[in-house]
Amino acid sequence: MRILIFGGHYEPDLGPSAPIFTMLCRNLVRLGHQVTMLTMVPHYPSGRVPRQYQGKWLWKEDDQGVEVIRLGLPSVDRAKLPQRMFQYLAYQIGATLAGLGKEYDVVFSGSPSISIWLPFTVLVTLRGKPAVYSVYDVYPSVGIKLGIFRHKLIIDLVSRLERSCLDNAMLVRIISDSFRPDLREMGVPDEKMVRGYDWVDTDLVRPLPRLNSFSEEKGLTDKFVVMYAGNLGLSQGLEYVIAAADFLKEQEDILFLFVGDGASREMLQEETARRGLRNVKFLPFQPRERLPEVLASANVSLVSLQHGMGSGSLPSKIYSIFASGRPLLISVDEGSEPWKLVEQAGAGLCVPPENPASLSAAILYLKNAPHLCQEFGQKGRAWAEKRHSPQAGAREIESLLLRAIALKQGAKQG
C-alpha cells in the first residue's frame, strides 16, 4: 500500500503523539508499505520553532524508509489559543499543498479536525480516497469541558469540522469505548467505529534500576519520588496534585516531581511558591533517549485528569508507565476508560479526581507497601508487552487500512 499519514507531531518533536506516529510509520514500512508522513516542524510544547527549521515552508527527510514532509510554522505562544489556531492553519495549508503532489492509496489521520480538516477535505474527500480517522479525544466536548470553547459559534464550527471528517472517513478508530455515545450523537454508526489500542516502544521503555544516571544527576536517590511526566496542560487538574503535596509536606522523604512543560506550568509553579512547598520540583522535557531513565526514577508514576475528562480521553502516557515497570497512581473519574484499564491490568491504584486527600492517602499507602508496588509494576510491564507493542499496533492499523480500501471499492461498485 501507498499510505499517506498526517498528524501534527513526529520525532524529534516532543508532542505526546510524536512517538506514536513515528513508531507507526516505521513499522508500516517494515511491513512492506510505502509511507509518507505530513507533519509540522518541531515546535512542542512551547510553540517555538528551532532555528534549523526556520526560513522554509517545507523540509523532506528520510526516516528509516519513511518519507517525512515537515511543514513550516510561525513561532507562537501555544498557551494562547488564537496563536495555536494560527499554527494549525499554517500547517493545514502547507500539508494540503504538499499532499496534492503525492500518489497514495489510503489515508490515516489523527484527530482533532481543527488541526487537519483542510488536508482531510482535499486529500480524502475531494480526491475520493479511503481513510481511517483515529479519534484520540472527542471534540468539541473535550474543549467545552476545559472551558476552551465557550461561544456557541466556535462550538458549532468545531462540531461541523469534526462531523465532516467523521462522515467522510470509511472507518473511525476509537481508543476508548467511552467515546461511542458522543460519536453516536454526532451521527457515527456503531458499525463504522472500531476499537483500537495505542502502542509504546517496549524495547526503549523498559524496567530499569531506580538508581540511575538521571536520578543521581537530579538528586532523587534519597527520595520517594511521585512523578508526573508529560504535558502540564489544562485538562490534567495538576493543581490538585500540588494540594496533595501540601498535605504531605511534613513527609520530608516524599518528592513530587513534574517533568515536562505546558500551558499550566507557570500557574503550578506560582501555586507551589504561594504554598511555600519544598517537596515539589519541576524539570523540563527530557530528550527521548533519556525517557527510560526518567520513568525508572519514579517510585510511583502519576496520571491525572480533571473531573469529567476521563470519559473523553485516554492518556497515552499510561502505556509508557506500564512499560517502565513502575506502579501507576491514577486520579480520574470512577468507571472511566483510564480507570478500567488500570484495574484490568492490575497495575496500580485509582482515586477520584480533584481530591487531594484521597491522592495523598494513596501515596502514603504505596510508600508503605513496596511489595505491592513491585507487583503493580510487573503486571503493568506484562500488559504492555502483550497488548501495546509497536509491532502489534502497526499490524492493527494495516488491517484497518486494507479494510477501508475494500469498503471504498465496495461503495463504488454499489
321 touches 380 (CB < 8 A): yes
Task: Judge if 347 and 399 occupy the same domain.
Answer: no
205 contact partners, CB below 8 Å, separation of at least 6:
291, 292, 295, 320, 323, 324
Cβ neighbours around 224 below 10 Å, total:
17
Residue 206 is assigned to a structural domain of this protein: no
CA 407/CA 400 separation, integer angstroms: 10
In this predicted structure, what is the pLDDT of residue 68? 97
Nearest CA to 137 out of 90, 89, 76, 178 is that of 178
- Residue 88's pLDDT is what? 84
pLDDT for 146 equals 65
Total number of domains in the chain: 2
184 and 285 assigned to the same domain: no
Please tell me whether residues 402 and 371 are part of one structural domain.
no
The pLDDT value given to residue 16: 76
Going by the DSSP 8-state scheme, the letter that residue 230 receives in this structure is: S
Task: Please tell me whether residue 136 adopts helix, strand or coil conformation.
Answer: coil
Same domain, 186 and 225: no
- My answer on whether 248 and 377 are in the same domain is yes
In three-state secondary structure terms, 38 is strand
Answer yes or no: is 304 within a domain: yes
Q: How far apart are CA 303 and CA 233, in angstroms?
A: 12
Q: Which domain holds residue 382?
A: 213-387
What pLDDT is recorded for position 411?
78
- The confidence score (pLDDT) of residue 3 equals 98
Q: Please report whether residue 208 resides in a domain.
A: no
- Helix, strand, coil proportions of the chain in percent (round to 5)? 45, 15, 35
Q: Which residue stretches of the chain have pLDDT < 70?
A: 140, 142, 144-148, 310-312, 414
Judge whether 17 and 7 are in contact, CB under 8 Å: yes
Per-residue pLDDT, 140: 67
Rounded Cα gap, residues 359 and 338, in angstroms: 16
360 and 401, same domain (yes or no): no
Residues 331 and 401 placed together within one structural domain of the fold: no
